[in-house]
A and B are shown apart, each in its own frame.
Chain A
């Protein structure tokens, strides 16, 4: 009995040591550098996938921290280090600025001009607006055209039902998600559901389970349901460019599996890693890709999704008021 009591007391005293919170780095330039480096080292999901030697990056940047004179320079230096990840989902937010990597679209042709889609051949002046969509009939009423610029814009089944009714005499539908930088994955799923007849596995997701660069959970299926209320049964063309990123990338990935969907335009910008956030001792917020997403063939979508039909904006067409990518979509539907 006495032995049992001693063991119990021993356990009670020792076990809490398993529950000590991890030590925080001090709020100094070096401490914040270490904290940021460790967050990326243990939580960022693409270090191995992108063949990034994060240890050597630490070696390269750490000595430069000692030369830092103020917060602005420190943010710039940390931004440069994060730049090495080549990830649009990685940002460092301070109270005065935020770092960002934009080369995923800046180094590519825009393939989108808002002045073109608002000319009378497309949306014109009298387009309709519902649930974040701007929509109109184009090509003499034969084609439905919807421009959706932000997956943060909420829409409902009712919004979509009215749009589908408005387009009920059209031969096909164009959904333009060019320059749509993403937003909610729920809206991505909901929008895609109108173009599926049966629930379909359209991708997979994993998350980091340990500090190792390749410590991941088993893949979890990402399913796209078929909407019970609304079904579009004719061709649907999704227009993409490099600024189709994040949740838009997810939408395009889903639509790749739609039996009615055709992807037209440029390769999407990617952003296949669902980002999470953490904080540094100085209170800055870091956003980073945490959960990699894959297509139905377990291929990463981080670097973007190739269109079914690659089309670029033609300068001559643009000068004449034509959007080459929309025109190609019209031809494909016809």
Chain B
């Protein structure tokens, strides 16, 4: 009898624990990465010059990724904001080109988990791209603008390696534009004619594999330390596009360093801050 009572208590206790666990609300975490980079860059913009300009740049990138919901842990969203500036010279160093670029992308990936510690992500990203190039020496064509929006194919491979009680994450990311819309200046026309006189005919083009090809890739390794996770990596970009008898090329190789961290987002009536969290809003 005593045996039976003891067994019942254990069952009750364990079911209570189980009930308690199943009542615990799952919280989605957002994985963030902030990285800074230095890069070497080659730019060909024949509207500004037939010569390829080369130089060094700096960049900042913020990336975040989270699953769609607590139930769907095989589809994630990804947002990325990249800003960079570079100073470039023509091959003879007789003229300089300043480049400022901003790119924002957002998209989704499906997660495959073919082996323990390995995730393969496949999906698509939409991006908006803005670039400003200035060759101050030029006359009436000192500036060239990059304005484009693209749909990109995207793939990511993440592999967690356990080493000396630490988990290192290796990540390879590839992205390529497949369809978009872009502004390309008229060959031989000044921005005065395009913007002041309003001759924008043939300045906006649909882009696809026939006139825009490229790859953006990055290889990073996340290294955990005591209270943070450091991220080191190498980014490579090669993009070329063509319209109005002009061929534009951008090659870039960057060394990046930053940190990665997870955050939980609470906002609104339905997604209040749990009581065991302390917020400055309270």
A positions within 8 Å CB-CB of B:
11-12, 15-16, 18-22, 24, 27, 35, 43, 93, 95, 185-186, 205, 207-209, 217, 220-222, 274-279, 281-285, 287, 290-291
Contact = CB atoms under 8 A, between A and B. Distances in A.
Given A12-B209, A276-B188, 5 more contacts: A186-B196, A209-B188, A274-B192, A277-B141, A290-B140
A285 to B, nearest CB: 6
B189 A217 contact: yes
Interface stretch (B87-95, B102-110, B228-236, B253-261): B87-95
Contacts of A222: 197
A220 B139 contact: no
A290 B190 CA distance: 9
Given A279-B95, A283-B95, A207 B193 contact: yes
Q: Is the interface of A mostly helix, strand, loop or mixed?
A: mixed
Interface in B145-188: 186-188
B209 A282 contact: no
Nearest to B198: A220
Contacts of B95: 279, 283, 285
A37 to B, nearest CB: 14
B113 interface: no
18 contacts: A18-B210, A21-B247, A27-B91, A185-B196, A207-B190, A220-B198, A222-B197, A274-B193, A276-B140, A276-B188, A277-B138, A279-B50, A279-B90, A282-B92, A283-B90, A283-B92, A290-B189, A291-B189
Contacts, number: 109
A278 B241 contact: no
Given A283-B95, A287-B139, A19 B211 contact: yes
Contacts of B52: 21
B189 A20 contact: no
A221 B249 CA distance: 33
Nearest to A221: B197
Give the one of B93, B197, B209, B249 with max A CB within 10 A: B197
B58 to A, nearest CB: 25
B30 interface: no
A203 to B, nearest CB: 10
Contacts of B91: 27, 281, 283
Contacts of A27: 91-92
Interface string B188-231: 11101100111101000000011101000000000000000000
B92 A291 contact: no
A324 B240 CA distance: 61
B112 to A, nearest CB: 22
A208 to B, nearest CB: 4
A21 B94 contact: no
Contacts of A284: 94
Contacts of B186: 207, 217
A275 B196 CA distance: 16
A276 B242 contact: no
